[in-house]
A and B are shown apart, each in its own frame.
Chain A
């Protein structure tokens, strides 16, 4: 069998939002200088960690649910071709139309064409990572179609001409007074007496979007899951904007990564317990909509499902990296990550920030295009413990670092260090070497780059007079 036509490929350049303009350390430097941002992030992540911890503690079988979730995802990935074909059959039987998009460009073209054929020049959107990943909004705008984000946080981002910075709460970097300013500046028809009270801000979004919901004929959504054996799709949300988009328009277009498929309806009993508790820290999110194809007389009468690869098959091809596809986008790993808490989501460049983004984005694009992300972690391991489907993110980061193309100077230094450390006599004399002692002994002084970052904020230890090895040897002398 010839497989070369079907070799997995990474997501194309020049479209979508998987690659940043800056390396992580450069972008992080800017974020670290923003005191307001750091206060907002700390407040938000501390709040969510507390909420999530409390509702997880209510379940006696949380670890068993994690084990099941992890195994169900591994099973789904191992049987992905058959599950996708089964899903396609079931959706078609229920009156939906299934499209296949090999990459972001093809997905954008499919959606744009579907919207054009309805004659509508506007779509309402329910928050979706997949459509952000492929840059669908830009593609629609280029075709003269206005995409309206209806999720409150996405609306804040869109009106603020900003970028999302968190998977679950894209405007997590904004506090209430900043949100008020954005609404006053950019929300048509807003009450000039608007206060920064959260219920007042939420009510302003409700008024602003109500007419748009009722008059727009096409909606675009993502999906949290798709059930292969029934053809059922689901969207998990809070505000009701999802229900509006999934219920009111004539036409619904759902863009979904191929890894979102679950084998059976029963599997939902696991994920509907894991997702809300791990993500928003609720026993259950306010609204979940599930639909199977088209229901005559109820909801959209035209349903299109766009199945997206865009690098996912490349992720799947690495046995040590493929479990990144198990991610259910809960963002628990962001909320516990000490690096994310200080740098925010924008530093990661990709729509997928935080620990999961640091393993997913480089695999979707190829590590060379996101070479600094696998290093955007202290490997503290908090993400692994928090992940509801037990993705071993630290081990995957280490695996990806081994695939990153290294600079020549670093390569030479690491090779020299390994060479020395593999020769105990050479190693011992290097330990004693006056030169090393002098460099390390310049207490409190700056080291040359790349080590200068270390001494900018910390003193070096005093170099001891005698190594342990020498002490031991002396002690063993009779």
Chain B
């Protein structure tokens, strides 16, 4: 299958390993990955901070860039959620019915990584090998906006060598929330502290999730604590094999 890849601005810029892993994984499964270079950012930060007008060109850019493709993958539950639940709404609220219709059409072809694997490619065992103790944080937007359910866990359970341990209070927010972490930094830090306590209590070496944004937040906190737990994107675990 020919799959268009939306890397997201954050993975492109700061976490290229997550983006590269997505490409490696899909190619290993026998699919063709294309990266349309006109892509930049989904505009969620602008929308969620109260700058819909500024987000509008980014929304239109996403729709225009990916309209030629039948299947688009995003290694982020949060960006997928914004594309699906915000893009068309913002466009139509700003009197752009044409682009709103295109956004809706492209959004229907946009999948978060675990959705693509399970719903479209119908594969649960991706042939990965990852000999580490891992705990999974279901990010809020994956869980309650994109609603990926237990798909990431189903994929992780098939990984060979993995010691998957349950995260207590998993569904509680880590405190990132985009610019929330800046505008309400103290509250965000308090939420992060509880999330880190839960993660450390599992004894895992690795905390994984489907969003680089939350992982950046959690990883930044764990690094400051010198907790000895790394954050790794779901795609990186699924892309790992005995030979990599």
Task: Report the nearest A residue to B40, measured CB to CB.
Answer: A421
Task: Report the nearest B residue to A456, measured CB to CB.
Answer: B185
Give the contact stretch, choosing among B54-62, B101-109, B113-121: B54-62
**B58 touching A342 by the CB < 8 A rule?**
no
* A427 beta carbon closer than 8 Å to chain B: yes
Contact among A38, A421, A454 with B182 in the assembled complex (CB-CB below 8 Å)? A454
**A469 touching B7 by the CB < 8 A rule?**
yes
Q: Which residues on the A side are within 8 Å of B89 (C-beta)?
A: 395
* B47 beta carbon closer than 8 Å to chain A: yes
**A468 touching B16 by the CB < 8 A rule?**
yes
Give the CA-CA distance A460 to B49 in the complex, in Å: 21
**B192 touching A450 by the CB < 8 A rule?**
no
- Taking the closest CB of chain B, its distance from the CB of A394, in whole angstroms, is 8
Contact among B141, B145, B221 with A458 in the assembled complex (CB-CB below 8 Å)? B221
**A459 touching B55 by the CB < 8 A rule?**
no
Chain A 370-402 near chain B by CB (<8 Å), digits 1 or 0: 001011111111101100000000110010011
* Interface residues on chain A, number (Cβ under 8 Å): 63
Contact among A338, A379, A385 with B172 in the assembled complex (CB-CB below 8 Å)? A338
Known pairs A431-B13, A453-B188, A453-B189; list 20 more (Cβ under 8 Å). Answer: A338-B175, A343-B187, A378-B173, A379-B180, A385-B144, A398-B47, A402-B50, A418-B43, A418-B51, A418-B58, A422-B40, A424-B37, A424-B39, A453-B182, A457-B189, A457-B224, A466-B16, A468-B11, A468-B19, A469-B37
Known contacts A453-B186, A457-B221, A468-B20: A378-B15 contact under CB 8 Å? no
Give the CA-CA distance A320 to B93 in the complex, in Å: 10
* B178 beta carbon closer than 8 Å to chain A: yes
**A380 touching B223 by the CB < 8 A rule?**
no
Task: Report the nearest B residue to A473, measured CB to CB.
Answer: B37
Contact among B23, B180, B187 with A342 in the assembled complex (CB-CB below 8 Å)? B187
- Taking the closest CB of chain B, its distance from the CB of A133, in whole angstroms, is 25
**A471 touching B185 by the CB < 8 A rule?**
no
The number of inter-chain residue pairs (CB within 8 angstroms) is 186
Considering only residues 130-158 of chain B, those with a C-beta below 8 Å from chain A are 140-141, 143-145
Q: Which residues on the A side are within 8 Å of B57 (C-beta)?
A: 418, 422
Residues of chain B touching chain A, judged by Cβ–Cβ distance below 8 Å, are 7, 9, 11-17, 19-20, 23, 35, 37-41, 43, 45-52, 54-55, 57-58, 61, 85-86, 89, 93, 140-141, 143-145, 171-173, 175-193, 216-217, 219-221, 223-224
**A469 touching B144 by the CB < 8 A rule?**
no
Contact among A339, A380, A469 with B12 in the assembled complex (CB-CB below 8 Å)? A469
Considering only residues 12-37 of chain A, those with a C-beta below 8 Å from chain B are 24-25, 28-29, 32
Give me the 7 closest cross-chain CB pairs, A-B, nearest first.
A453-B185, A378-B177, A458-B220, A401-B50, A381-B144, A380-B173, A380-B140
Known contacts A338-B191, A414-B54, A461-B219: A25-B16 contact under CB 8 Å? no
**A25 touching B186 by the CB < 8 A rule?**
yes
- Taking the closest CB of chain B, its distance from the CB of A388, in whole angstroms, is 16
Give the CA-CA distance A368 to B186 in the complex, in Å: 23
Considering only residues 402-440 of chain A, those with a C-beta below 8 Å from chain B are 402-404, 406, 410-411, 414-415, 417-418, 421-422, 424, 427, 431, 440
* Central interface residue in A338, A451, A464, by most chain B CB within 10 Å: A338
**B12 touching A454 by the CB < 8 A rule?**
no
- Taking the closest CB of chain A, its distance from the CB of B126, in whole angstroms, is 20
Q: Which residues on the B side are within 8 Å of A375 (C-beta)?
A: 179-180, 183-184
* Central interface residue in A28, A339, A372, A427, by most chain B CB within 10 Å: A339
- Taking the closest CB of chain B, its distance from the CB of A338, in whole angstroms, is 5
Q: Which residues on the A side are within 8 Å of B183 (C-beta)?
A: 25, 372, 375, 450
Q: Which residues on the A side are within 8 Å of B14 (C-beta)?
A: 440, 461, 463-464
**A382 touching B144 by the CB < 8 A rule?**
yes
* A4 beta carbon closer than 8 Å to chain B: no
User: Would you mind naming 9 contact pairs between A and B with Cβ atoms under 8 Å apart?
Assistant: A339-B191, A375-B179, A381-B144, A381-B145, A414-B54, A415-B51, A453-B186, A457-B193, A461-B220
Q: Which residues on the B side are within 8 Å of A431 (C-beta)?
A: 12-13
- Taking the closest CB of chain B, its distance from the CB of A448, in whole angstroms, is 12
Task: Report the nearest B residue to A447, measured CB to CB.
Answer: B182
Known contacts A377-B180, A422-B57: A401-B48 contact under CB 8 Å? yes
**A379 touching B178 by the CB < 8 A rule?**
yes
* Central interface residue in A24, A378, A395, by most chain B CB within 10 Å: A378
**A458 touching B192 by the CB < 8 A rule?**
yes
Contact among A29, A401, A444, A458 with B186 in the assembled complex (CB-CB below 8 Å)? A29
Give the CA-CA distance A379 to B61 in the complex, in Å: 24
Give the CA-CA distance A339 to B188 in the complex, in Å: 8
**B51 touching A414 by the CB < 8 A rule?**
yes
* Central interface residue in B13, B52, B224, by most chain A CB within 10 Å: B13
**B16 touching A464 by the CB < 8 A rule?**
yes
Known contacts A379-B48, A424-B39: A459-B224 contact under CB 8 Å? yes
**A418 touching B7 by the CB < 8 A rule?**
no
**B192 touching A468 by the CB < 8 A rule?**
no
Q: Which residues on the B side are within 8 Å of A472 (C-beta)?
A: 23, 35
* Central interface residue in B51, B58, B141, by most chain A CB within 10 Å: B51
Q: Which residues on the B side are within 8 Å of A421 (C-beta)?
A: 9, 40-41, 43, 58
Q: Which residues on the B side are within 8 Å of A212 (C-beta)?
A: none
